[in-house]
Structure 1
Amino acid sequence: MNKSRIWQLSTYLSLASVSLLLACSQATRPATPAAQNADWPSYGLNLQGQRFSPLAQINQQSIGQLTSAWTVDTGIKATFQATPIVVNGVMYVSLPFNHVLALDAATGKQLWKYTHDRKADWPMCCGPANRGVAVSEGKVFIGTVDARLIALDAASGKKLWDIDVAANQVNTEQQNTLNSSDPNKTRKVTGGTGVGIAMAPVVYKHKVIIGITGVGYGLHIDNPTSDAPLGAVIGVTGRYGRPGFLAAFDVNDGRQVWQFDTIPAKAWEGNFTTRTADGSVFDRDVAAEKNAVKDYPDAARFGGGSAWSTPAIDTGTDTLYFGTGNPSPQMNDVSRPGDNLYTVSLVALDTETGRYKWHYQQVPHDLWGYDLASPPVLFQYQHQGKAIAAVGQASKTGWFYIHDRSNGQFLAKSDAFVPQLNLFKKPGTEGTVIYPGILGGANWSPVSVDERQHKIFVAAMHSPIKYTVHETEAANGQKPMRYAASEPTEDARWGLLSAIDSQSGKIAWQHKTEQPLVGGVLSTAGGLLFCGEGNGRLTAYASDTGKALWHYQSDYGVNAPPITYQIAGEQYIAVVSGGNSLFGFKQGDRILTFKLAKK
């Protein structure tokens, strides 16, 4: 890649555009004058997913006066990842296990609570966390860990409709297929292929859009210690999983309008790609893969491709953009020759029909779990002297990718924002240490784009992973079974908060944290960048220099994206604090809000 490639973003987010979004939000109580109020109406603030707020009352000069406004303990101590949604002074928060709270956003007073009745014994692939709700047309929408889409009345919390989006499909990998000498055979399993919904929905033109997860996972072995990251993830050969999908449902009755399957019905083998447009090279035995196609004619039926993060939407062209997960079986490629389309890809669809427009596969025939987990973000980009409507995505591989929104053409990628070793190297029987690995890089954490400063802010991690191929003993005349495992090493791991210069693609500044960063960031017109850590620390940085200006210490991990809003002329910062069990961060149940102390 030519690292001198010029990156240029032109400013187009303004107070006027935010006001337009707010005007379209559904009122749930009388509002004070618009100039005094500013909501957080959607997962990424706006449909572009930029997470940049034009509010500036809290700024580099006033940040020292930031103090607690109110806190709420929800009573559900578990992994907490939600983005609070604020519409007309009401905050809607999804709790672990898909309960929902409605609070007065100025005081924290509870207005109502919805308690979710989860299906008994439904397997959760990745724990009870949910990343938020959508609020529109007088309704609150939530996708659940048991693969349902629910609509609540925004004023009362009463359930309006409840649909099953995955037809009760459950698949569970078998731990007993592991080698008898493998210590993971007897360890506690915390997850497998249990279809669910993790993403926050998005509503557009009377349709609520959501996708399913858990379709490409292997066995999840429990953390070796309480403060350690997830233990082994194991991909077992077998007919496990199913295709993922993204679908749109009518906001009034939940009727499905369209569905896009992340695995195509035909030709999921693709072109057997060994080099992608961004310059990544993959060591593949193409001849052997092509020969194996005849042995696995129905592999696509179990193809995987979870949809992890809320799509970004281009309202000018009615196009949505979302990322897909790994192929199934995870890391174990014996039964899935070919590129395994459309897994580990950025995909563009027509919002009205779900029609496929284009895709870009970052990692063909993925062996490492390099899902596109972080949500896409839309912005304007200067390329070879022309202004181009672009879509960007922070990857697990450690690069920020930029594409032409109209056709998916790869335009550029940033310098690596995390260390890289043995990237795309095939795992072997002796074990191969790779970073970034299955955890990332940039995991599900959403980025923020400040077009005024030409900066893209990314929360990421350095967490070395050892990949090993195993083979069971031959028994009872059966062939040995091959499986692959990824496990954290004993090497040091840490977090990296990066500001990427959008003109050059280089790292403008970078801040190293004690623990891996997962949760996301918020930038504001006050020149501030907010980011939480697993040790409970919420920090405000000067977004132009990276200097830490303020911090707050929570009792629990702060592993969710912060937001900001304004009520009656007072600006607030809010974030949920509940840790993350997959990373060993202390779990809790707290909603935190801050505002400037009155003089």
Structure 2
Amino acid sequence: MNKPLIRQLFSYLSLASVSLLLACTQLSKPTSASAGNTDWPSYGLNLQAQRFSPLSNINEQNVSQLQPAWNFNTGVKATFQATPIVVNGVMYVSLPFNHVLALDAATGKQLWKYTHDRKADWPMCCGPANRGVAVSEGRVFIGTVDARLIALDASTGKKLWDIDVAANQVNTEQQNTLNSSDPNKTRKVTGGTGVGIAMAPVVFKNKVIIGITGVGYGLHIDNPTSDAPLGAVIGVTGRYGRPGFLAAFDVSDGHQVWQFDTIPAKDWEGKFTTKTADGSYFERDIPAEKAALKEYPDAAIFGGGSAWSTPAIDADTNTLYFGTGNPSPQMNDVSRPGDNLYTVSLVALDTETGQYKWHYQQVPHDLWGYDLASPPVLFHYQHQGKTIPVVGQASKTGWFYVHDRVTGQFVTKSEAFVPQHNLFKKPGPQGTVVYPGILGGANWSPVSVDERQHKIFVAAMHSPIKYTVHETEASNGRKPMRYAASEPTDDARWGLLSAIDSQTGKIAWQLKTEQPLIGGVLSTAGGLLFCGEGNGRFAAYASRTGKALWHYQSAYGVNAPPITYQVNGEQYIAVVSGGNSLFGFKQGDSILTFKLPKN
């Protein structure tokens, strides 16, 4: 036989053997599932933002045995709201003031830390808290209190790019404009109008999507005592703020792909609505508002409309859904006649272009600070004999709203999950007590949806608020100026953890908690619901009945959304514990994780 031919044949066989060996190696290489690993890869777990995990190793029968796995103290004691992200066994956590940690998710060992260099002269509208990061394409993305979007190398924490999302082109309210007899004139101000980013980004089709906050915030007066809620929020008549926006940026270099302004370029006054499709009625002086259009023709350029919460995304239709904040000035409508579109609205956009699809305004011409703060969630609903895709949102007003995902048509809303009194009543000089008020209802806390049980789980609060309209003294020929204030009353406050039947809107079960609930919930296929409280109690409940099954006492408030993940076949529950200064809950710096003891 021809020897060169034999050598060539053996060469081909060797290459084929190597190729076969490589193929077999790749096939046998453990995937995330086969290795016993299950991630928590995005803020809401999935793009639908359901926060329902299929993990069930920890369940109703054994959750009472849950014990600490590892705790990590970050060294930054401040309001802590982050959702940890877990990808390939690594946990990424954003800290207050926008520092970022990467930890071994099984042991808590620190892998790297990014320390954020914040602009010293940039005013923080809303405190130092951050809701979380996004992880994709080997990068970690974070939005900052000084309105930057930063990409880090996921393996090292090295900064890859850093862009300014928005110039700080805002005017801020002045405390010295208040009445001399108003005690808030001399109290400490902890926040006001000023551009920042609070939400966790979301990544979709090579775009990182994020929005700005603080553009219609109002003066925030410090708590009267360390364990009390926010002292007051004050909206001053004037030209404060700017339009908010949601925008998409390229993951590779940060260049902007599209931007959607939450205030329309024209016709932001809308139709002067007094009744919405969900049956809510609003007391308004429409003739006076229309007359004011001539005096305030450019009110929209200071319009507000912050983007507080991470969008939910329907990947099948390339549609994202997000909620918008209050108009500017906060609670004070003298200088902003009309409906103030698209504030206090659920908005649907095309993910690829940012083009508007539809919106639903829950509260036109808002006077109470009823931002859509809780993130939207996507699920399916039986409607007129058909299963339709819907988007739901837990509101500050105390209802869970449901809309057709495609058209935006209002479908239904739940029973009220908090007490309601004087809802949408226009405040006056004597003051009006309203609940729920500016704090909610459901504040920024994310909900969880268990479609198997047809249940929506909502963490909310009962916190009465007194709204008062003031007018400054006339002096030196200047006309009196109006401002509006919302302040907590001396009435009792508490929390409400609710399970809502997603098909009927009825409350399936409800628990009253000692303190207002702020932070969010997690449900699992193990029949469990996890939720924390400001007193440091972190608890597991039976999701079908609400029965308390287990709890852990933290030294600090647990006011952030829990998550669950699995590493090497072991399921973990994790939550950050650092309290919330706005509610007077003790601040700290803990990352807590739990698992079952080994047999």
Q: Tell me if both proteins adopt one fold, taking TM over 0.5 as the criterion.
A: yes
Q: How many angstroms does 1:167 deviate by? A: 1.6
Find the aligned partners of 1:115 and 1:169 in 2 and give their Cα distance.
Answer: 26
* Alpha-carbon offset, residue 32 of structure 1: 5.8
Report the counterpart of residue 104 of structure 2 in structure 1. 104
1:456 aligned to 2:456? yes
Deviation by residue 1:142-187 (Cα, 9 ceiling, x = unmatched): 0000000000000000000000001233432100100111000000
Residue equivalent to 2:532: 532
Deviation per CA, 1:566-586: give whole Å up to 9, x if none.
011000000000000000000
In the alignment, what sits opposite 2:550?
550
Between the aligned partners of 1:38 and 1:186, the Cα distance in structure 2 is 52
Cα offset, 1:314, TM superposition: 0.2
Partner in structure 1 of residue 439 of structure 2: 439
Corresponding residue number in structure 2 for 1:410: 410
Residue in 1 that maps onto 2:474: 474
- 1:180–1:315 CA distance, 2 compared to 1 (3 A): same
Q: Distance in 1 between matches of 2:268 and 2:34?
A: 50
Asked if the contact 2:171–2:239 (Cα under 8 Å) also holds between the matched residues in 1, the reply is no
Give the TM-score normalised by structure 2. 0.95
Q: Are residue 419 (structure 1) and residue 413 (structure 2) matched? A: no
Structure 1: runs of 5+ lacking an equivalent: 1-28
Counterpart-to-counterpart distance in 2, 1:204 and 1:114: 24
2:212·2:307 contact (CA, 8 Å) conserved in 1?
Answer: yes
8 Å contact 2:378–2:392 — kept in the other structure?
yes
Residues in 2 aligned to 1:454 and 1:372: alpha-carbon distance in whole angstroms: 23
Work out whether residues 170 and 240 of structure 2, in 8 Å CA contact, stay in contact via their aligned partners in 1: no
User: Is residue 177 of structure 1 aligned with residue 188 of structure 2?
Assistant: no
Contact 1:429-1:469 at 8 Å conserved across structures: yes
- The 3-state SS of whatever aligns with 2:224 is coil
Whether the aligned pair in 2 keeps the contact of 1:31 and 1:89 (CA below 8 Å) is no
What is the CA-CA distance between 1:64 and the residue it aligns to? 1.3
Partner residue, 1:287: 287
The answer (yes or no) to whether the contact 2:389–2:404 under 8 Å persists in 1 is yes
1:482-501 to 2 correspondences below 5 Å:
482-501=482-501
1:68-116: per-residue Cα shift (whole Å, max 9, x none)? 0000000000000000000000000000000000000000000000000
User: Aligned residue pairs: how many?
Assistant: 571
- 1:569 paired with 2:532, answer no
Root-mean-square deviation (CA, aligned residues, Å) is: 1.0
* CA distance 1:408–1:33, shift in 2 (3 Å): closer
Cα-to-partner distance string for 1:460-501 (whole Å, 9 max, x where unaligned): 000000000000010001100000000000000000000001
Q: Matches of 1:170 and 1:429 in 2, distance apart?
A: 29
Indicate the residue corresponding to 2:91 in structure 1: 91
- Quick one: distance in 1 between partners of 2:426 and 2:282? 9
* TM alignment of 1:323-472, pairs within 5 A: 323-472=323-472
Q: d(CA) in 2 for partners of 1:35 and 1:454?
A: 31
Residue of structure 2 in register with 1:187 after alignment: 187
User: How much does 1:325 deviate?
Assistant: 0.1
Query: Which 4+ residue blocks in structure 1 deviate beyond 6 angstroms?
Result: none
8 Å Cα contact 1:84-1:132 kept in structure 2 = yes
Contact 2:168–2:194 (8 Å) recurs in 1: no
Distance 1:476 1:329, change over 3 A: same
Tell me the amino acid that sits aligned with residue 295 of structure 1. E
Q: Contact 1:31–1:88 at 8 Å: present in 2 too?
A: no
How far, CA to CA, are the matches of 1:288 and 1:103 in structure 2? 58
- Cross-structure match for 1:207: 207
**Structure 2 stretches of 5 or more lacking a match?**
1-28
Q: Give the distance between the partners of 2:321 and 2:33, measured in 1 at CA.
A: 34
Counterparts of 1:166 and 1:177, CA distance in 2: 28
Would the alpha carbon gap of residues 238 and 575 (structure 1) be closer, same or farther in structure 2, given more than 3 Å must change? Answer: same
Q: Distance in 1 between matches of 2:30 and 2:144?
A: 30
- Residue 49 (structure 1) aligned with residue 41 (structure 2): no
Q: What is the one-letter code of the residue matched to 1:512?
A: K
Shift of 1:31: 6.5
- Cα displacement (A) at 1:33: 5.2
Contact 1:522/1:563 (8 A) holds in 2: yes
SS in structure 1 of the partner of residue 301 of structure 2: helix
- Identity, % of aligned pairs? 88
**Alignment match, 2:318:** 318
1:34 partner SS: coil
Q: What's the counterpart of residue 82 of structure 1?
A: 82
Q: Quote the residue 1:14 is aligned against.
A: none
Measure the CA separation in 2 of the matches of 1:170 and 1:564.
40
Q: d(CA) in 1 for partners of 2:128 and 2:194?
A: 12
State the TM-score, normalizing by the size of structure 1: 0.95
Instruction: Tell me how far apart the structure 2 counterparts of residues 70 and 345 of structure 1 sit (CA, whole Å).
Output: 41
Q: Given residue 178 of structure 2, which amino acid in structure 1 is its aligned partner?
A: L
Deviation string, structure 1 residues 194-251 (Cα, Å, up to 9, x no partner): 1100000000000000000000011000000000000110000111000000000000
Separation in 1, partners of 2:473, 2:385: 61
Q: Report the Cα distance in structure 2 between the residues aligned to 1:445 and 1:168, rounded to whole angstroms.
A: 27
Is the 1:195–1:214 Cα contact (8 Å) retained in structure 2? yes
Return the offset for 1:126: 1.3
CA distance in 1, matches of 2:466, 2:517: 20
Aligned to 2:23: none
Q: Quick one: distance in 1 between partners of 2:33 and 2:482?
A: 64
Shift of 1:121: 2.8
**Are 1:218 and 2:218 an aligned pair?**
yes
SS at match of 2:469: strand
CA displacement, residues 392-439 of structure 1 (integer Å, 9 cap, x when unaligned): 000000000000010100000000000000000001100000000000
Q: Is the CA contact 1:81–1:560 (under 8 Å) kept in the aligned structure 2?
A: yes
Amino acid at match of 1:362: Q
Q: 2:32·2:38 contact (CA, 8 Å) conserved in 1?
A: no
Residue 60 of structure 1 deviates from its aligned partner by 0.2
CA deviations 1:20-40 (Å, max 9, x no partner) are: xxxxxxxxx997653511000
Q: Which amino acid aligns with 2:545?
A: T
Q: Which residue of 2 aligns with 1:236?
A: 236
Q: Secondary structure at the match of 2:176?
A: helix
Q: Which amino acid aligns with 1:54?
A: P
Q: 1:125, CA displacement in angstroms? A: 1.2
Question: Residues 32 and 568 of structure 1 are in contact (CA less than 8 Å); yes or no, is this contact kept in structure 2?
Answer: no
Matches of 1:124 and 1:230 in 2, distance apart? 16
